[in-house]
Amino acid sequence: MGLVGAGPWAEMVHAPELAAGPHTRLAGVWARRREAADELAARHRVPSYERLEDLFDRCEAVAFCVPPAVQAELAVLAAKAGKAVLLEKPLAADLDGARRLADAIGEAGVASQMVFTFRYSPATTAFLERARALRPYGGHASSLSGVLHGGAFATPWRLERGALLDIGPHVIDLMDAALGPVASVRAHGDPLGWVGLLLDHTGGAVSEVSLTMAGSGDLPPTRVDVYGAEGSATLLGSEIGDDAFAAVAREFAGTVRRGGGHPLDARHGLRMQEIIADAERQLA
């Protein structure tokens, strides 16, 4: 696997997990900042590449850890080069970019998979099994952080677009999986402050989502609650283990080797982006 990107998340998660194996082998690193690529590659004893095309020549698949707009541009090139792609959320910075990327992947016939980290945890799998058995009719989710106040992840696109584009894909995906496909969204608030979403699901369930990255103080973990005729189920972000990305790598390797699809593919990422784009239009 090649790695595109050498920022904090690539340094902390993607590079070490992909290099660790046993299901993947890190083939090299490319980044817009050559010095960052050189440093990250040297740490894992793999080459860094000046030309993206040279990285493609040395790998079967490519993992992306770059801003959404950059991913939408460069992952199209990887798909056209016949490479399977492991993609971060959101799929793109906007709906047009997400559609172009999903279409390019479909036309190339390459495997794709999204890094919805929560979904690769055994705690989430158990929660979703419980939630679906409840005959659910509603739920609520909240994700609160202080990312916008600074730190490694206060990156330009997050500071500009806020919680909805960054946290939204994770939380909407969880509600979608627990209560059924999201059919519509109503949004209010401010992406740089507090965002509230009301989601209608195809089976008749409704859910509410609260998001902020402008919090301060001692904030609670991400929480998802589902209620139904047979009781309730709760998932806490603190239950998600550190091994979630190892499961991502394992499942992606299996997807590539089988040559088949994955439930969390680029088309799924596009559907999440459509919901977010609708919410962003309302907030604007």
| Residue pLDDT, tens place only, 54-112 | 999 999 999 999 999 999 999 999 999 999 999 999 999 999 999 999 999 999 999 99
The least confident of 28-37, 158-167, 237-246 is 237-246
| pLDDT value of residue 259 | 82
Helix (H) or strand (E) holding 201: strand 195-201
- 3-state secondary structure labels for all residues of 61-109: EEEECCCHHHHHHHHHHHHHCCCEEEECCCCCCCHHHHHHHHHHHHHHC
Angle, helix 266-283 to helix 95-108, in steps of 10 degrees: 170
pLDDT higher than threshold 90 for residue 242: no
Banded model confidence at residue 138, pLDDT cuts 50, 70, 90: very high
Task: Please state, in angstroms and rounded to a whole number, the distance separating the CA atoms of residues 235 and 226.
Answer: 9
Once rounded to an integer, what is the mean pLDDT over residues 112-126? Answer: 97
3-class secondary structure, 246: helix
Question: Structural domain boundaries of the chain?
Answer: 2-117+244-265, 122-240
Please state the pTM of the whole predicted model: 0.96
| pLDDT value of residue 193 | 98
* Nearest one of 248, 227, 223, 225 to 238, comparing CA atoms: 223
Instruction: Using alpha carbons, list the distances in angstroms from residue 35 to 19, 49, 60, 145.
Output: 20, 11, 24, 31
CATH number, span 2-117+244-265: 3.40.50.720
Banded model confidence at residue 250, pLDDT cuts 50, 70, 90: very high
The least confident of 45-54, 110-119, 256-265 is 256-265
Task: Look at the block and give the residue holding tokens 């902390």.
Answer: 12
> 78: which 2 tokens?
């990887």
3-class secondary structure, 241: coil
Domain 122-240 has CATH 3.30.360.10: yes
| pLDDT value of residue 241 | 84
pLDDT higher than threshold 80 for residue 260: no
Number of Cβ within 10 Å of residue 59's Cβ equals: 19
Q: CA neighbours within 13 Å on the CB side: how many for 2?
A: 28
